[in-house]
Amino acid sequence: MSKTALIAGASGLVGSHLLPLLLASERYERVIAVGRRPLPLVHPKLEQRLLSFDTLENHRLQLIADDVFCCLGTTMRQAGSRAAFYQVDYLYVVKLAALTAANFAAQLLVVSAMGADAASRIYYNRVKGEMEDAVRQAPFRVIHFFRPSLLLGYRPEQRAGERLGALVLRVLHPVLRGPLQKYRAIPADTVARAMLRAAEAENSGIQVHLSDAIAQEGRRLR
C-alpha cells in the first residue's frame, strides 16, 4: 500500500516499539516521525520532522498522513508541575488531533490510560479523560483510544514507584483473572502491536481498547 503514517512520541516507551513496526509494515510507504530531537535511526521509509509542539500549528503542512499514531505522554514527576503535565498530555495531543484531522487524516490512534475519566478525582485520570473527550470531536473516520494498565519495558529514567508497581502486579498476575485481567501489567511492545493491528482493521467510529483486550490484540500480531 502507499499509505503514510505519522507518529508522535516515537522516543517514548510505546512509541519506540511502534516505530520499527510501522517501518516494517507493508501498509506504509512513508513514516513521518515528529518530535523535538532527532532519533538515532536511519531508514528509507523514515522522514524525521524536528519541531516544537508549542508551535505545531506553524508546521501543519508537515503533518499530512493517512494514519496518525499519538504516543505522547509524561508523568507529574517528569513534567514537574500540573501545568506542564497538562500541556503534554492534553494540549499537545488535542492540537495534533485537530491539525491532522484538518489535513484529512483517516485514522487517529492514541495512547491514553486505564481509568481515563473527565470526572475522576485523580488528576492524571481526569486529564486523560478530558483529552479523550476533546479528541472525540475531531472528524476522523475512526479514533482509537488505548487504555493500558501499568506499562512494562525499559525506561532510561528510573521510576521507583513504577518498578514497585510492576513487581506487585507480576506477583498478582496469576490471580488477576476474568474482569480483573484488565489490571495486569502489560508490555509496551504488546500495546504497539495492538495499535498497528487496529490501524490495519480499517474500522470506523470511536474504538476504546481496554488493557485486557490490548493484550489479546497485541499477541495476534507477531
Question: Residue 198, CB half-sphere, CA atoms under 13 Å: how many?
Answer: 34
pLDDT at residue 167, as a whole number:
46
pLDDT at residue 140, as a whole number:
98
Residue 62 contacts residue 100 (beta carbons within 8 Å): no
pLDDT at residue 12, as a whole number:
95
Q: Which residues contact 193 (CB under 8 A, 6 or more apart)?
A: 17, 21, 217, 218, 219, 220, 221, 222
Residue 218, judged by CB atoms within 10 A of its CB (0-12, 13-18, 19+), counts as buried
pLDDT at residue 178, as a whole number:
47
Cβ neighbours, 10 Å, residue 11: 17
Question: Facing residues of 207 across strands?
Answer: 144
Mean pLDDT by 10 residues, the chain (222 residues): 93 97 97 96 96 96 97 90 96 98 98 97 97 98 96 62 46 46 79 97 96 83 54
Structural domains of the chain ordered from first start: 3-220 (3.40.50.720)
pLDDT at residue 222, as a whole number:
53
